[in-house]
A and B are shown apart, each in its own frame.
Chain A
Amino acid sequence: DTGVSQNPRHKITKRGQNVTFRCDPISEHNRLYWYRQTLGQGPEFLTYFQNEAQLEKSRLLSDRFSAERPKGSFSTLEIQRTEQGDSAMYLCASSSLTGMNTEAFFGQGTRLTVV
């Protein structure tokens, strides 16, 4: 297992376009999280899943954002009608509810630039 994988690594899009990011968590990790990080800030929580159920969404997650985790494996984060303020690094993390190690492991992120 190579850890949490995110694709694409970079995305440049025009304002108003839709974008979709994918996250493949560490296999058998029940929980999957999405965070967003802007310059000079720490990662900010967006949403998380336990298996296929979306358990919590942040107020940061406007109606233009939607996340899914079909079958409790990989997850997608879609942003519709992108705005320049959506430019950020989007980070995915996964963790296990069982076993000794419960810390979240992060992927390398998808850097979104909206022009």
Chain B
Amino acid sequence: DQQVKQNSPSLSVQEGRISILNCDYTNSMFDYFLWYKKYPAEGPTFLISISSIKDKNEDGRFTVFLNKSAKHLSLHIVPSQPGDSAVYFCAASVNPYEKLTFGTGTRLTIIP
């Protein structure tokens, strides 16, 4: 039972353009959502998070949007840079201190 889904295994975006990564979840108990970035042979690196009381959170070039009624969140990266090429994982938990449930990831490739 995949409670967090990332339906796009891969995405290619031109450098300087916007990258939009999507994530859907099924468990209505999830209240806290995060995005992690992962390079090969490294552990996931935290990018940005959002709690269910908000619908948007920004940090520099990264913005996460949450649509609770649709059980959908997205990560926007503007402008996209070559160093953004990595696998991005969406994760969710029932509160900030509990275990994370991850999606299967989206491989983002930024084309120079």
| Chain B: interface size category | 20 to 34
**When the two chains form their complex, are residues B43 and A109 in contact, meaning their CB atoms are under 8 A apart?**
yes
Interface membership of chain B positions 96-110, coded 1 if the CB is closer than 8 angstroms to chain A and 0 otherwise: 110111111100000
| Chain B residues whose C-beta falls within 8 Å of the C-beta of A97 in the assembled complex | 97
Q: A31-B97, A43-B89, A97-B97 are in contact. Are A105 and B46 (CB under 8 A)?
A: yes
**When the two chains form their complex, are residues A42 and B102 in contact, meaning their CB atoms are under 8 A apart?**
yes
Interface membership of chain A positions 49-63, coded 1 if the CB is closer than 8 angstroms to chain B and 0 otherwise: 000000010000000
The total of interchain contacts (Cβ-Cβ below 8 angstroms) comes to 53
| Chain B residues whose C-beta falls within 8 Å of the C-beta of A105 in the assembled complex | 46
CB distance from B27 to the nearest CB of A (A): 13
**When the two chains form their complex, are residues B96 and A91 in contact, meaning their CB atoms are under 8 A apart?**
no
Question: Can you pick out 21 interface pairs between chain A and chain B where the beta carbons lie within 8 Å of each other?
Answer: A33-B99, A33-B100, A35-B100, A35-B102, A41-B105, A42-B102, A43-B44, A43-B89, A43-B102, A45-B99, A91-B44, A102-B97, A103-B46, A103-B49, A103-B96, A104-B46, A104-B100, A106-B43, A108-B41, A109-B42, A111-B41
